[in-house]
Structure 1
Amino acid sequence: MRALSILVFTALTFFTSNAQAVLLGATSRDPNGLRRSVVSIENSSGELCSGALIGPGLVLTAAHCVTDTATYRVVGVNKAFRPQRVGVIALAVHPSFVTGTTPRTQPGVDLAILLLERPLGGDFLPLDPSLSGRIDVGDDVTIAGFGVSNESLKGTARVLRQANLVSLGPIKVANRVLIVADRERLAETSGAGACRGDSGGPILAATQNSYLLYGIVSWSSGALRSRGTSACGGLTAVTPLIEHLGWIRQAVASLTARNGAWARH
């Protein structure tokens, strides 16, 4: 754990950002794959994040993705990978989240749940957070998001990509997060990981037939040996869901009770 602490501190001394595309990720082209469960979140100010569908009309994402004074909409892609856009009518932010901070210096929990104006439909597959487990050091995980494929190429966003990473374990920076990274490069040099557009996207554990939702991406860093001012390709920090299932259940119940019980079914 001490070695991980030194690694994270060194990376943070260089560059970090909101984890806003899956760097070195493979484009997801399976109509029965993660496109059923992973969505993008856009606001009227032009900002982009990712999220995980946890009900027909409910999306789990990072709280820092919804702090702008703006209108929001969620975009899913159907089996033909055509966008399906739905407006957001209500949201719940974790009560410990503190606005006005960066994700890395956030002392609270970087989670939010969005309620959509209507369900995305039967073409999509919500993930159940209550099935979330604990990710141990050395475990393989999958990251997915709609961010850029290259930090300097903004036009590559809004395409679903995924990559396999390895867990390096939990650490407390300002709040408690789980650190994941490219298994081969371990953040020493630039590898796979979250980048601009992936905040709020899911960290998943693959099963024989599907995926389990284990966490939500909060921020990322550049590689330790990066020569430029990169904030991608190094460490990816994740909010682990198993520690916050009570709040998730309460927030879902509150949102659906006030705005439409259909969102739970």
Structure 2
Amino acid sequence: MLVNALRVARLGAALVALTSAGPAMAVINGAVSRDPDGLRASVVRIESTRGEICSGTLIGPDLVLTAAHCVMHRAGYSVVAVDRRFRQQRVLAVAASMHPDFVPGTTPEDQPGIDLALIKLERPLGPEFQPLDPRGGAITTGEAVDIAGFGVVAENRRNTAGTLRSAQLVSIGSLEVANKVTMVTDRRRFAETTGSGACLGDSGGPILRGGRGGYQIVGVVSWSSGAMRQNARARTACGGFTAVTPTGEHAGWIASRSAELARIQPGEALPAGRGNRSDWMARPARR
């Protein structure tokens, strides 16, 4: 989900302070993930019967961490993972639990609660997939982080969604909009002109610390903006700032709700626990 760059212009001081940072690659303008032992083992695509696409991350054999706004609608959802030969595997989502503070019906940039959710799959994905640890801790200002997602390379190129891309960005600090988010951006452009960042379909995807074999999740993509300087005739809401829900601040909820969802057996109701009133469970298929 997207917001005009003018709404985050207050980050100008942080941008000036970080102009010495080095070059970066991007999810838009960036690198397709082709390593069979890389992020394809952990990052998944989320699709709904409404035609929406988001991204997410495995944090258990049958659990996915994503953004709450990606699963807030009453629809059918499935998760698409990519195996070592880059063949797609589709698994149905049987339940979703949103953070108890999340307010369904709002846009991510106006969300007063926490834009996080967990998805329970109908079966584990298998041994060639690698869940990641969501307890990566706080994101510090100036820290290099990675972003990964299945989104488009530009708003007007919807047919480019569905390919996993990753990039390195830099954190430029926290921002209070409707709630507290961490802002990350292209290390070279710092959102002054269009560079790297999330776009449509990257919502719910991970912000990561570490590298191959040692990635940890430190945030989940919530929304993005366009650059501060744009052509008025071709404005975009991608390639500027990427707003991230930091997972370290909500590690307790992620751990406790994950444990509750992991214990669900077919036919059981969702546990009340620390869920949201809009949590849902798919109806069992008729036989």
TM-score, length of structure 1 as denominator length: 0.89
Structure 2 residues without counterparts, runs of 5 or longer:
1-7, 13-25, 267-287
Identify which range, 249-258 or 155-164, moves more after superposition: 249-258
- 8 Å CA contact 1:200, 1:218 repeated in 2: yes
Match 1:151 to one of 142, 155, 159: 155
| Alpha-carbon distance in 2 for matches of 1:246, 1:206 | 21
Q: CA deviation at 1:225?
A: 0.4
The aligned residue for residue 11 of structure 1 is none
The aligned residue for residue 132 of structure 2 is 127
Report the AA paired with residue 259 of structure 1.
Answer: Q
SS in 2 for 1:104: helix
Identify which range, 145-154 or 185-194, moves more after superposition: 145-154
SS in 2 for 1:248: helix
| Alpha-carbon distance in 2 for matches of 1:118, 1:182 | 37
The aligned residue for residue 75 of structure 2 is 70
| Alpha-carbon distance in 2 for matches of 1:208, 1:56 | 19
The aligned residue for residue 244 of structure 1 is 250
Report the AA paired with residue 143 of structure 1.
Answer: I
The aligned residue for residue 23 of structure 1 is 28
TM-score, length of structure 2 as denominator length: 0.82
| Alpha-carbon distance in 2 for matches of 1:94, 1:145 | 21
The aligned residue for residue 96 of structure 1 is 101
The aligned residue for residue 170 of structure 1 is 174
- 8 Å CA contact 1:193, 1:233 repeated in 2: yes
Q: Percent identity?
A: 57
Query: What are the within-5 Å matches in structure 2 for residues 188-227 of structure 1?
Result: 188-207=192-211, 209-227=213-231
User: Are residue 58 (structure 1) and residue 63 (structure 2) matched?
Assistant: yes
- 8 Å CA contact 2:9, 2:228 repeated in 1: no
Structure 1 residues without counterparts, runs of 5 or longer:
9-20, 261-265
Report the AA paired with residue 61 of structure 1.
Answer: T
- C-alpha RMSD of matched pairs (Å): 1.6
The aligned residue for residue 183 of structure 2 is 179
| Alpha-carbon distance in 2 for matches of 1:208, 1:160 | 15
Report the AA paired with residue 200 of structure 1.
Answer: G
- TM-superposition CA deviations, 1:92-133 (whole Å, max 9, x none): 110100011110000000000000000111110000113x12
